[in-house]
Amino acid sequence: MRVWVWLVMGCLVSAQESDLTLVLLKTGPATDLSESEMSEAMKGHFSNMKRLAEEGVLLMAGPLGPPRSDPSHRGLFIFNTHDLDFAETRAATDPGVKAGVFVFTLHPMTTRDRLTELPRLEKEAQMQREADPEVPDEWQGRAYFLASTPEIPASPIAGDALLFQAKLDAFGPNGEPVWFMALDATTEEQARQIVGTDSPWTLHGWYGTKVLEQLGQKSD
């Protein structure tokens, strides 16, 4: 079982913190693209994500779904860098951004969880798929729920259902920091059971890599 302690001052207690960048993708200004133009932009979007992952920049990505706290929210990247200028140049290479399908905002992210292990876990999963004919030979994703709150949680969330948690700067509606976590839940009801029905957490539907489950299966 894992427990993360939140300090009143809003800092994270950690011997090994990672400073990353969350890239929030939002609906862009392009509303009149043809079907072929949209198809080309999205094809490039996925190819570019693969390239960024191979470069060691992209740790995690996926689309956001209902419930959305903001209807313009489309998806997210988590980059293995704390340099916002570098993150901006990499996010701007996305063909969906270039085509105006997306715009993005950058948010410094601090976590003590092992998100930097995800590329290794993805490679191990790929090797298993290639070696075992019983394992489907394709990348596997699934539904999760993300949760955020501008309030310092009164009590920690514990257990393997907590996959990772972080502090995001300049993420709230007024530019305030928020506390952010990923939950091993596929429905809003399951997510509410984890965070508590009367909790301050806002839930966000999200679709991402299946290997993220493994972060919740490892003890600190």
Q: What is the pLDDT of residues 94-146, one digit of tens each?
A: 999 999 999 999 999 999 998 999 999 988 888 887 787 776 667 789 999 99
Domain annotation covers residue 3:
no
| Total domains present in the chain | 1
Q: Is 23 helix (H, G, I), strand (E, B) or coil?
A: strand
Q: Beta strand pairing status for 141-149 and 202-209?
A: antiparallel
Domain annotation covers residue 10:
no
- State the Cα–Cα distance between residues 159 and 140, nearest whole angstrom: 24
Domain annotation covers residue 4:
no
Could you read off the pLDDT of 59-108 as tens digits, one per residue?
999 999 999 989 999 999 999 999 999 999 999 999 999 999 999 999 99
Residue located via tokens 């059971």: 193
**Whole-prediction pTM value?**
0.87
Average pLDDT value for residue range 27-34: 95
CATH number at 93 reads 3.30.70.1060
User: What range does the domain containing 196 cover?
Assistant: 18-217
Domain annotation covers residue 61:
yes
Lowest mean pLDDT among 2-16, 58-72, 154-168, 177-191: 2-16
Q: Please report, for residues 84, 124, 157, 167, 175, the alpha-carbon distance to residue 154 in angstroms, rounded to integers and kept in the order given.
A: 31, 38, 10, 15, 22
Domain annotation covers residue 73:
yes
Domain annotation covers residue 142:
yes
Domain annotation covers residue 23:
yes
Confidence of residue 30 (pLDDT cuts 50, 70, 90): very high
Domain annotation covers residue 160:
yes
Confidence of residue 10 (pLDDT cuts 50, 70, 90): very low
